[in-house]
Amino acid sequence: MEIFNKDVSVLGELTLVPLDATGKVLTLDATNIVRYRNISDLANDGADKTYIHDQGVASDTWTISHGLNKFPSVVAIDSVNRVCIGSVEYTDNNNIIITFNAVFSGKAYLN
């Protein structure tokens, strides 16, 4: 499809119409809201942020600085991929502390 002699792409629910060499595009979403913005701004449109913490040193307290700017959901797993339940303390929008009843290493998935 062409609009204004430009190629049109569909990205999820967004229709992208390249406008010029400035890197800006015209977007039309499912609710017909039109925006003019940088193509790089579309990278995280509608996508939830995720952070994976690798706790390589065994500990019963994991202090995690995630930088997600929110209170994320948290799932911790041990080194053999078993889900481990701990007490999650949100110190602010970018940091959490998880306290467990046992010492182990593993990963925490935050989103």
Same domain, 56 and 7: no
Q: Which residue has the higher pLDDT, 13 or 63?
A: 63
How far apart CA 23 and CA 42 sit, in angstroms, is 12
Strands 6-7 and 9-11: unpaired
pTM for the predicted model, two decimal places: 0.59
Place of tokens 């290493």: 105
Same domain, 29 and 66: no
| Tens-digit pLDDT profile for residues 25-50 | 555 555 555 555 554 554 555 567 89
Same domain, 14 and 64: no
Distances (CA, A) of 30 to 50, 101, 107: 25, 48, 37
Count of structural domains, the chain: 2
Same domain, 57 and 84: yes
Same domain, 84 and 62: yes
Per-residue pLDDT band for 1 (boundaries 50, 70, 90) equals very low
pLDDT at 47: 65
Least-confidence region, from 1-5, 43-47, 51-55, 90-94: 1-5
Same domain, 56 and 85: yes
Same domain, 35 and 80: no
Q: SS3 of 29, please?
A: coil
Q: Which residue range forms the structural domain that includes residue 77?
A: 51-110
